[in-house]
A and B are shown apart, each in its own frame.
Chain A
């Protein structure tokens, strides 16, 4: 059972355009939603994260939009650059306990064309 569904599987964007990746979750106990960025041959690295008490979080060109009622969140990359070409993973985890058990989405391969 895939608890975090991510789309699209792949995305091609022109330089300077906006990249949008969407995720949906089922478990209402989730309350922490990070995005990770992975370059080829490297491990994922935290990009930006949000908690459900806010509807939007922005860091530089990267913005997370969060819709609690729809159980959806998305990553927007403004002014996309070729250096942004990577695989992006959304993830979710829930509060409680002494564990950080991240459930990852299936990933989106982003290619930004120059």
Chain B
């Protein structure tokens, strides 16, 4: 039973295309996140939703738009993909939004933009 699952695992696309990454968690958690891990493995938060409400929105280009249809799902849509968007995108969840609520990460979606 995968706790946090992301699809697809790999995504190869051309510049200018629009793509989506889906995430689902079956842990019953209230809070979900998107993190970006670059080629140097640096992890940076992009967005966080708590009970479907956006609570963290880092300085991410407007081309990135998260959507949370319900507490268990958080999708990421990316418009007009650029070479610099190539990275591994991780979805995560935590039981609540407090600072010491452990994050549970999915296994990532490796996005390659050519």
Contact = CB atoms under 8 A, between A and B. Distances in A.
Interface of A: 31-32, 34, 36, 38, 41-46, 49, 51, 87, 89, 93-95, 98-102, 104, 106-107, 109
A108 to B, nearest CB: 10
Contacts of B44: 104
Contacts of B15: none
Given A99-B56, A102-B45, A44 B101 contact: no
A34 B42 contact: no
Nearest to A93: B99
24 contacts: A31-B99, A43-B90, A43-B108, A44-B43, A44-B90, A44-B103, A44-B105, A49-B100, A87-B41, A93-B99, A95-B99, A99-B50, A99-B56, A100-B31, A100-B94, A100-B101, A100-B103, A101-B45, A104-B42, A104-B44, A106-B41, A106-B42, A107-B41, A107-B43
Interface residues of B, number: 27
B48 A99 contact: yes
Contacts of A95: 99
Interface in B70-114: 90, 92, 94, 97-108
